[in-house]
Structure 1
Amino acid sequence: MPEPTPPPSPRTRVARLPKRGDYDKATIHAILDEAFLCHVGFVVDSQPYVIPTGYGREGDTLYIHGSAASRMLRNLDKGVEACITVTLLDGLVLARSAFNHSMNYRSVVMLGTATLIEGEDAKNHALRIISDQILKGRWDEVRLPTSQELKATTVLSFPIDEASAKIRTGPPHDDEEDYALGVWAGVLPFRTVVETPVPDPELKAEIEDLPGSVVRVLGRKLWVSPR
């Protein structure tokens, strides 16, 4: 049986347009799994910061990482409260009036504090989760981090237990009198498209095949080297 979804906390309950709120754990996980870039908000000495960073999800845990010298990670490691957001843009909603324009989107807001990941095995596991979320299979194709590189890297985990999703779908909602206007209205869909890979200028001449991780994203094996 699926794990029951806990009720939203007062801090994560959607107040503006509450009908768009969704607190189902499976919905929240699905949105997180479709992306790999989040924005981390936190406050240090009364100054707010919002930093974009890559992430990976495993179960009810979100992992982020970066340089051990990172101000964000150093402060989050001290227990500073964070707000993590993820947004998927699905389309521009074009209404008949300027006021009723909108966007179709799926978003998640998470609140909580971080836990430091320690030990090489635990760090490598978390880093693999992040790597696979960004480009599945790449971790197995490259040189893995050295002990020195792991020491220079901070990895944090966040529990996904105080979170909510907010979703908008469908056509524009115009004022009744505006439906008679001679103005085109509808939805302009958006989607992320992967384009032709660009090789590193220093790539060895004998390497002509794309790695499996890239082929999986492209959905094809064909690639014409520019050389």
Structure 2
Amino acid sequence: MTDRYTQTELTRIRRIAQYANYDRPTVHAIVDAGWICQVAFAVGEQAHCIPTAHWRIGDTLYIHGSNGSRLLKALAQGASACVCIAHLDGLVLARSAFNHTMNYRSAMIYGQFRVVEDEAEKWRSFEVFMDKIEPGRRHEVRMPDDSEFAATTVLALDIEQAVAKIRQGPPEDDAADMDIPVWAGVWPIETRFGTPVADAQPEAVI
């Protein structure tokens, strides 16, 4: 395994190719920083794009859901998928309307999901998912019982065709526009946790 994903026809960036990044750690960091991925797939002639929670173990991306989910049923049957994870880092305000843009980090992953049939892998994936939500919480809550375990499908996508696309920095104005008397720069956007709101139910008596 190398530190870079091999560029393929699917992952070759054509628009602003200098933003492309095939470094494995960079792709992994973008995946790990997100809570929701967008999964695009087609059933017959109808295209779908459905958001769902995701997590990663090594070079494998996991998603889960009800056994009856249309998304999971289609992917379990071998539908080709494109997974996109994106983070908006700032609005880039230029001196011309044409040169306005955004700073962002995104990753696209292509491939086919497989159903996680091995119970040990499935259970391990649940543990990692809970640790992503809050490290150590799985030791405090009730983990899935047998019926919940059986009612949940976990799908895995081995990350083999992937690319990141990243835009950072200030606006790129044309020389002819530099004297326009308007503010230009980056308006940063941050995602962060707020103050936790406790459940209204009374605390359990221990």
- TM-score tier, shorter chain, comes to over 0.9
How far apart, CA to CA, are the structure 1 residues paired with 2:150 and 2:117? 10
Deviations 1:53-93 (A, max 9, x none): 11111110001001111000011000000000000111111
Identity of aligned residues (%): 47
Asked if the contact 1:96/1:174 (under 8 Å) is kept, the reply is yes
* Number of residue pairs matched by the alignment: 206
Over the residues paired in the alignment, what is the CA RMSD in angstroms?
A: 1.6
Alpha-carbon offset, residue 134 of structure 1? 3.0
Partner residue of 2:29? Answer: 30
Aligned position for 2:145: 146
Structure 1 gap ranges (5+): 208-227
State how far apart, in whole Å, the 2-side matches of 1:138 and 1:99 are.
48
1:141 Cα offset (Å): 2.0
CA distance in 2, matches of 1:136, 1:192: 19
**TM-score, normalised via structure 2 length:** 0.95
In structure 2, give the amino acid aligned to 1:125: R
> Counterpart in 1 of 2:133?
134
- The amino acid across from 2:64 in the alignment is H
State the alpha-carbon separation in 2 of the partners of residues 155 and 7 from structure 1. Answer: 27
Partner of 1:155: 154
- 1:78-119 deviation per Cα after TM superposition (whole angstroms, max 9, x unaligned): 000000000011111111111111110010000000111124
What letter is aligned with 1:84?
A: V
Q: Deviations over 1:179-201 (max 9, x none)?
A: 10000000011111211111111
RCO higher in 1 or 2 (8 Å CA, sep ≥ 6)? 2
Secondary structure of 1:170's counterpart equals coil
Amino acid at match of 1:39: Q
Q: Is the 8 A contact 1:56 1:132 kept in 2?
A: no
Contact 1:120–1:147 at 8 Å: present in 2 too? no
Q: What TM-score do the two structures reach when normalised by structure 1?
A: 0.86
